[in-house]
């Protein structure tokens, strides 16, 4: 379910909408989206405000909700030779974090996001909302087998960099111009030792103040954007 | 109120704790913190698990809560000549965002955070938790008058850079080695025109993919860290 005008617009543009539900007020306010859906052959069904409340997971529903195809792509379709930037999440537990990182990856021009191990389901409503449409902008793949995810990145010609608070290599000293897959771990536990061992390099964000760490989403934003800007320089 | 072992530890280190409340279990688990509080002349009061639940704003209280001095510093004490990196939040509404940005500012070695205009109260529990102790690591000042906040930054020798989605200047093309105050606006509305006009330069984060923007906390992380790493290079 993609909820709200922005998410519905992105889902329609991606051609993944099965059916669109709109309240009378939302249909008036977002006539362009309703027209676009009809033009694409998508069934548009009117609903009451009360039904919109029932469908919505938010406190203030916008009255426009799209039922979409599942987002999963196979690993080999998502991570392909020629990729320059891939983000791998390992065992990330919070759907808001996963969605925020998917939005960052999209903004940074990443080629794919790999949700590996026990990472949350990207179809979770909190993840969809935090991703703000980005779920429909780049390939998302779910892979239980973390070593297989890393092997696919290596096979595609990407170096695998693990974000790790105790790494020796510092982000501002590492060459980030070559194709890179960034690997981030669980919010509380970070990356397991066996995953760290399978990556090419562990990298830490330099801490210049007294904070002991950054949270997952801001750490990912710093790493992924530092890479993207270095590659575009 | 600083809740949980990490926040209490940071508050004790900063010497701002008035009184410490601990359950029997937490006193055992965090004996070092209880000893440190006593050594600093802080009153330590035992509480029941039920009282801890009552004091806590979280679902799983840790049983250790410190009542602290208010964090506000006067603007002229927080933003001083010689500062190299300052973060200014204008009308930021979400306490979790404010706390996350304070944590990022601390990690990046910022000299101060200025909460300007209608920005949320940093004493809000969600802000305290998101800041993860960083509220006690660097000076925080609250200033209603946004132009006064910007003038103080300029007077301290900082260039004021406004993060703005439609700015001409791109983050990766701007010289970030000189002392800088980063200015961020409200989550939904960004920075008002009159604030933009009063800053030295509006800067946008380059968007390499299809996302239209980043959220406030990740945008701030990218801008502030890009500055910090450039200044330390």
pLDDT attached to residue B184: 98
Contacts with A102 from chain B: Cβ below 8 Å? none
Chain-chain contact of A138 with B222 (C-beta, under 8 angstroms)? no
| Under 8 Å between Cβ of B174 and B205 | no
| Under 8 Å between Cβ of B75 and B22 | no
pLDDT attached to residue A201: 98
Contacts with B98 from chain A: Cβ below 8 Å? none
User: Residue A1 has which token pair?
Assistant: 């379910």
Nearest CA in chain A to B223: A222
What distance in Å separates residue B205's CA from the closest CA in chain A?
9
pLDDT attached to residue B60: 79
Q: Is pLDDT of B199 > 80?
A: yes
Contacts with B171 from chain A: Cβ below 8 Å? 229
Any B CB within 8 A of A226 CB? yes
Torsion of CA A103, A108, A110, A115, to 10 degrees: -40
How confident is residue A69, by pLDDT bands cut at 50, 70 and 90?
A: confident
Helix axes A216-232, B95-107, angle to 10 degrees: 60
Percent of residues, chain A, with pLDDT higher than 70: 100
Percent of residues, chain B, with pLDDT higher than 70: 100
Q: Of A44-53, A127-136, B49-58, give the lowest mean pLDDT range.
A: B49-58
Any B CB within 8 A of A187 CB? no
∠ CA A189-A168-A216 to the nearest 5 degrees?
A: 35
Average pLDDT over residues B21-37: 95
**What ipTM was reported for this prediction?**
0.90
Q: Whole-number mean pLDDT of chain B?
A: 94
Domains and CATH numbers, chain A: 2-68 (3.30.1330.30), 75-232 (3.40.1280.10)
Smallest Cβ–Cβ distance between A137 and the set B105, B210, B226 belongs to B210
DSSP-derived pairing of the beta strands A112-116 and A140-143? parallel
What distance in Å separates residue B223's CA from the closest CA in chain A?
9
CA nearest to A64, candidates A92, A98, A24, A95? A24
Q: Of A145-149, A179-183, B10-14, B181-185, give the lowest mean pLDDT range.
A: B10-14
How confident is residue A58, by pLDDT bands cut at 50, 70 and 90?
A: confident
Q: Is pLDDT of B208 > 80?
A: yes
Summarize pLDDT for A6-34 with one digit per residue, the tens: 889 989 998 999 999 999 999 999 999 99
Q: Count CB neighbours of B95 within 10 A.
A: 21
Smallest Cβ–Cβ distance between A232 and the set B10, B208, B226 belongs to B208
| Under 8 Å between Cβ of A62 and A33 | no
pLDDT attached to residue B99: 97
DSSP-derived pairing of the beta strands A64-68 and B159-163? unpaired
Max distance between CA atoms of chain B, in angstroms, equals 58
Q: Is pLDDT of B59 > 80?
A: no
In A97-156, the residues whose Cβ lies within 8 Å of chain B are: 100, 103-110, 130, 132-134, 137-138
């Amino acid at each position: 379910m993609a909820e709200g005008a922005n998410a519905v617009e992105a889902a329609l543009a991606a051609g993944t909408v099965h059916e669109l539900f709109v309240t009378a007020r939302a249909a008036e306010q977002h006539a362009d989206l309703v027209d676009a859906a009809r033009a694409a052959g998508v069934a548009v069904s009117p609903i009451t405000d009360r039904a919109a409340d029932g469908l919505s997971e938010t406190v203030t529903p916008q009255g426009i909700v799209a039922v979409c195809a599942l987002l999963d792509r196979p690993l080999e379709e998502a991570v392909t030779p020629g990729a320059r930037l891939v983000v791998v999440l390992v065992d990330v537990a919070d759907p808001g974090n996963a969605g925020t990182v998917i939005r960052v990856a999209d903004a940074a021009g990443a080629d794919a996001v790999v949700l590996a191990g026990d990472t949350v389901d990207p179809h979770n409503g909190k993840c969809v909302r935090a991703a703000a449409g980005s779920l429909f902008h780049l390939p998302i793949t779910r892979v239980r087998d973390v070593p297989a995810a890393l092997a696919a990145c290596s096979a595609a010609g990407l170096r695998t960099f693990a974000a790790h608070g105790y790494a020796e290599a510092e982000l501002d000293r590492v060459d980030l111009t070559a194709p890179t897959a960034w690997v981030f771990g669980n919010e509380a536990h970070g990356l397991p030792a066996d995953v760290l061992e399978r990556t090419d390099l562990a990298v830490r964000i330099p801490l210049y103040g007294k904070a002991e760490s950054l949270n997952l989403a801001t750490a990912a934003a710093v790493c992924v954007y530092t890479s993207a800007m270095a590659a575009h320089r």
